[in-house]
Amino acid sequence: MTYQESCHCGSIAFEVEGRIEQAMSCNCSICSRKGSLMWFVPAGHLTLRTPQDENFGTYVFNQHVIRHRFCKNCGIHPYGEGTDPKGQAMAAINIRCLEGIDIDAIPVTRYDGRSA
């Protein structure tokens, strides 16, 4: 299935392909503040519909393994970029930004990022 996603103002928009079987809620210092529900897909499943320009911001912290992408206009964090434990490029999709899904129907796994 292909999903459409964007930040609030639409400056960052993309399509992501896959099947949402679960999302992850992390309690690390940034995720707990953002309130994101993340769905992990191979990076190649994400296709930008808007150019990466001055509206795209990137934030890294701690071990610098995830590039948290956000819109400099509206402040929304639609996705992040990183690698999985096997070294494969991954995208962490904030399902709260996906169009037309029932978030309450998606099982959420809790991850203790604060202790990691």
Q: Do residues 71 and 8 touch, judged by C-beta distance below 8 A? A: yes
Banded pLDDT at 2 (limits 50, 70, 90): very high
How far apart, in whole angstroms, are the C-alpha atoms of residue 32 and residue 20? Answer: 21
Structure tokens at 71: 């819109």
Q: What is the pLDDT of residues 58-80, one digit of tens each?
A: 999 877 778 999 999 999 999 99
Give the model's pLDDT for residue 65: 79
Q: Is the pLDDT of residue 23 over 90?
A: yes
Coil, helix or strand at residue 44: helix
Model pTM greater than 0.85? yes
Which one-letter amino acid corresponds to residue 12?
Answer: I
| Residue 72: both structure tokens together | 């400099």
Q: What is the pLDDT of residue 103?
A: 95
d(CA 31, CA 28): 5
With a cut of 90, say whether residue 116 has pLDDT above it: no
Q: Which fold has domain 2-111?
A: 2.170.150
45: helix, strand or coil: helix
